[in-house]
Every structure is written in C-alpha cells, then in structure tokens.
C-alpha cells in the first residue's frame, strides 16, 4: 500500500501518524510504570504533545558524543517546554527561576556523580549553591586567575 493511500485514510502523513502512535504507546507505558514524571520539573507528563525524550547530559560536541547519545542511562523524559528551557535558559520562555536551575543541577549530579565530583568549590559550597553575589565574585576571581595563567 502506497504512502498516498495511507495519508488519505489517516488524514495526515503516514510518518507523522506513526510518530504520534509511538509517542502514545510510550506515554502509556511510562504512566503504567509510574515513570511519567518530568526529569526537569518533577510534574506529571499528561499528553503526547508535552512528552519529549532528552539526554540528561548533553551529547553534542562532546568527545564521547556517540556513547552519550546511545546510552540509555543518559535518557530521560520531560515536558517539551522544560526540555526546551533547559537547552536555552534565556530563550523565548524567559529566565528559568534559580530554584529550578538548582534542582536541575542536583538531578544532573545524581545522574552522573562522577562527572560532577570535581565541582568547583568556594567556602565549602558548590558553585550552584552560591548566592548571586558570591557567584559573581567567584567568577571574577576565576577570570583573574586564568588571565594570569594560574590553575583555577
């Protein structure tokens, strides 16, 4: 059966219908397993329009990009808007609240504690736990140290 016939009967392209069907099956399975919480915000994912598959650790432009892309432990489900916000924190959805950014960072650390074990520290606290003033001061010190060729 040709795609034209399928498109005519489905009222949309066969590839679009197939993609929507796969998302419906995926969401139903996630709901049955109780795994339908958004990786980013923790709220329930309720519709296929909201469902997105994302990588916990971005793979693009990484030396181990292929490994990160195919690693199922690096895959999470999130709301499409939450996923989009995470990839561009100052995009069309506006600035992500600090508390949400901190929670996202905590989730990333939990997903890969080895990678984040060497989080830069200041006063015994990780950078993402600093106040805006402390973070700004730390940034200035780090830039100054790099300028003078010192290890940061």
Distance CA 130, CA 61 (A): 28
Percent of the chain, pLDDT > 70?
63
Give how far Cα 85 sits from Cα of 4, 57, 82, Å. 37, 15, 5
Give how far Cα 113 sits from Cα of 15, 35, 72, Å. 39, 21, 17
3-class secondary-structure state, position 89:
coil
On the question of pLDDT at 146 being above 90, the answer is: no
Please give the pLDDT value at position 78.
93
User: Which residues have C-beta within 8 Å of that of residue 138, sequence separation ≥ 6?
Assistant: 120, 122, 127, 130
| This model's pTM is above 0.75 | no
112-140 pLDDT, tens per residue?
Answer: 655 454 444 434 445 445 566 666 666 67
The structure tokens listed for 132 are 């805006």
Q: How confident is the model at residue 89 (pLDDT cuts 50, 70, 90)?
A: low
Distance CA 97, CA 81 (A): 14
Across-strand partners of 55? Answer: 75
pLDDT averaged over every residue in the chain: 77
Given a contact cutoff of 8 angstroms between Cβ atoms, the answer to whether 81 and 49 are in contact is: no
Please give the pLDDT value at position 69.
93
Average pLDDT over residues 48-76: 91
């Amino acid at each position: 059966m040709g795609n034209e016939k399928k498109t005519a009967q489905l009222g949309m392209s066969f590839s679009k219908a197939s993609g929507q069907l796969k998302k419906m099956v995926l969401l139903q399975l996630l709901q049955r397993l109780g795994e339908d919480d958004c990786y980013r915000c923790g709220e329930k994912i309720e519709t296929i329009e909201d469902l997105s598959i994302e990588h916990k650790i971005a793979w693009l432009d990484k030396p181990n990009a292929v490994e990160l892309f195919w690693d199922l432990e690096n895959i999470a489900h999130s709301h499409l808007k939450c996923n989009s916000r995470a990839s561009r924190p100052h995009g069309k959805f506006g600035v992500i609240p600090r508390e949400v950014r901190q929670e996202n960072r905590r989730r990333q650390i939990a997903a890969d504690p080895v990678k984040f074990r060497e989080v830069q520290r200041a006063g015994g606290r990780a950078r993402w736990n600093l106040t805006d003033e402390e973070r700004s001061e730390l940034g200035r010190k780090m830039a100054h140290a790099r300028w003078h060729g010192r290890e940061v």
